[in-house]
Amino acid sequence: MKGIASVSLLLSVLFISASVPLSAQQAAASAAQSQPSEFSSTWWKNAVIYEIYPRSFQDSNGDGVGDLNGITSRLDYLQKLGVNAIWLTPIYPSPQVDFGYDISDYNSVDPQYGTMADFDRLVAAARKRNIGIIMDLVLNHTSDQHRWFLESRSSRTNPKADWYVWRDPKMVNGKREPPNNWISVFGGSAWQWDPARQQYYYHRFYVQQPDLNWNNPEVRKAMYDVARFWIHHGVAGFRLDAITALFEDPRDRDEPYVLGPGGKPLIDAYGDREVESIYTDNLPEVHDVLRQLRQAVDEAGGGRVVLIGETYLNSIADLRAMYGAGNDELQLPMDMQVGFINKFDVSLFRERINEAETKINGDEPLFVFDNHDNPRWDRYQTNAEGDSEFGYGPHHDDIGRVIAAVLFASRDTALMYYGDEIGMVTTPPTRKQDVRDPIGITGWPKEKGRDGERTPMQWNAGPDAGFSSVGIKTWLPIPPSYNTVNVAAEEHEPASLLHWYQQIIALKKHDPALHDGKEIMLDTSDDHVLSWLRKAPDGEAVVVACNFTGQAHTVTFQLSAVGIQGSHFKTLMKTPGAPDPASLGSVQLGPYGVFIGQVSQVTQ
């Protein structure tokens, strides 16, 4: 792809460590001087974005925790895989209560991950391989150790007194109570009493993560300056954490409670009554911030910096709104409505993918199946095969191929998670004393936390799985599966899941239909097999079929209704060991089988 091949040009911004952020004008001038005009502003379209949890990818200094130099050492592997950009979860200085999502300094690097010089080297080395670096930008909240909050809580007259969400208590029968019934995503009331100010502060997440007051223009300016700082250091984009949570109801109204069968209250894993977050999530004011932020990064980055949103939304209409009426907000809000169906329901997948094709005004979908906050894609095996635990079942790799086909052969930008390509599975702790994630500590045993999807990358069958130094206790245990499931083993096995990922990503990038073609669902009455057509503007076409069941099925492609005359074809990819079909009139798919074929004799 011409645009992404030129992403190195985007990242030629000067790597000058600055104690203060650049102004918008300075950053834009720097970008303009170093970026030729032919660089595409849409490099992120059809791209493959690879999420790295830095603590768990590669440890370079033997302390059991992954770091920036470790990521740099693995860039050749990522280039071979076909990655266009890397999303790093937070690497800023942090008390690590929420493993980096509680930030105490936005303009530096936590020493456990390295230095700003290490970061600049990573950006430069990635640039040489046409890989962009995407930072995780946490706008909703800071750490309670951030200097902004320390000043804000010190007194009600401090210049930063209004930088966070503070409220007076509600007095009931002479007793102090929180202002309303809002609850934290991580359990308990979302309000914390602060003795110094004699007020409550709001925290949608942990107590140690106070929410910023986005109604304050000074907060907005400070955060936009953070974005400019990192653009100055060469980043290709930002993933915006919890972006829909920036605003709360100014009237502080109670959330409505969720009721179950018979009108009974529903209780979550933390023992709290479940509420509908209608007053604390996805409020209209979010769009104003997104427009301002988009303008700021466009000016600073020459229109070449992508904004990705963490957008767990209720409908395709809500997702469409995140792009902005004039495509002036997010370029890539995450479409969680496909990858998080969490069961192989053909009709639902067909409906959701078709919505992404037809109901977001032609904008680019961003599909994602797993990340650092959710169990890995082996959860689909759990649902499909009736297993009670995560792990490796008889069709594990075949299910992985189905998911990869949906992710990379659809019309979308694809977001994958480290280890997906080798089939790493969710490995939750079995004892409470082994849990590192505070969610698991609080919610055990109903909620075991997110440690299971954050285990170290499995590079080889050595005693440390190639992640850290031999004999070092890694921050999370390395799963026992590393003996057979690792990069080194799969690189030498042509039928491995790793090779499947490499091949289908290459097709996504280089095949005209899979790169630029529109998407049309086929055989929409089939309840077992999901089939679709990708048709390029020049008429080249590719058909894809994925068996969503554990039983064999035969597919008959009827293509004349979608403008394809003739049935000559070439197999591009198929599940290893599957027969090569004699015609498109009878394509045999084994359990969770996949077929991808290029169709010839196409008429437009």
Which tens digit of pLDDT belongs to each residue from 327-350? 999 999 999 999 999 999 999 999
What are phi and psi for residue 10, nearest 5 degrees? -60, -40
Structural domain contains residue 325: no
Amino acid letter at 106? Answer: Y
Host H or E run for residue 541: strand 541-547
Answer for the pair 148, 161: CB distance below 8 angstroms, yes or no: no
Structural domain contains residue 331: no
What are phi and psi for residue 483, nearest 5 degrees? -60, -35
Query: pLDDT digits over 31-55, tens only?
Result: 333 333 334 799 999 999 999 999 9
Structural domain contains residue 360: no
Q: Tokens at residue 113, please?
A: 């991950």
User: What DSSP string describes 244-269?
Assistant: GGS---TT-PPPPBPB-GGGPBPB-T
Query: What CATH number has the domain bearing residue 586?
Result: 2.60.40.1180
Host H or E run for residue 149: helix 147-154
Query: pLDDT digits over 574-598, tens only?
Result: 999 999 999 999 999 999 999 999 9
pLDDT, greater one: 482 or 388: 482
Structural domain contains residue 510: yes
What pTM did the predictor assign?
0.92
Residue 539 has a pLDDT of 83
How many residues in the chain?
A: 604
Residue 12 has a pLDDT of 37
Tell me which residues are annotated as active site.
241, 299
Structural domain contains residue 182: no
Residue 184 has a pLDDT of 97
Range of the domain at 556: 497-599
Structural domain contains residue 530: yes
Structural domain contains residue 408: no
As a whole number of angstroms, the distance between CA 99 and CA 103 comes to 9
Domain total in the chain: 1
Distance of CA 553 to the CA centre of its chain: 33
Q: Is the dihedral of CA 572, 573, 577, 583 positive or negative?
A: negative
Listed residue (591, 596, 595) closest to 528, CA to CA: 591
pLDDT, greater one: 241 or 604: 241
Interior CA angle at 150 toward 149 and 152, to 5°? 60
Structural domain contains residue 332: no
